[in-house]
Amino acid sequence: MIYEVKKDDIIMLIDDTVFFAEQPKAFKTMFREQEDPDNPGYAEFDDYRAYLTELDRILFSPVKQNL
């Protein structure tokens, strides 16, 4: 599935069927910058939480917005 991942004014289309190592360099950099130091492999963006699995896959979970 393709996810529209946003962080501030940056928007990227990320395919979760592609291994993390093969994702665009800009996304990998953004993931590492947002990665929680107390929870490696977890990063939060404006609209999704992303989890990097041991199998080098990215799992996305939507961030709930207060309405």
47 pLDDT exceeds 60? yes
Instruction: Please give the helix or strand (H or E) that residue 21 lies within, else none.
Output: none
Q: Is the pLDDT of residue 51 over 90?
A: yes
What's the pTM value of the predicted model, to 2 decimals?
A: 0.85
Give the pLDDT mean for 5-24: 95
Asked whether the predicted pLDDT for residue 67 surpasses 80, the reply is: no
SS3 64: coil
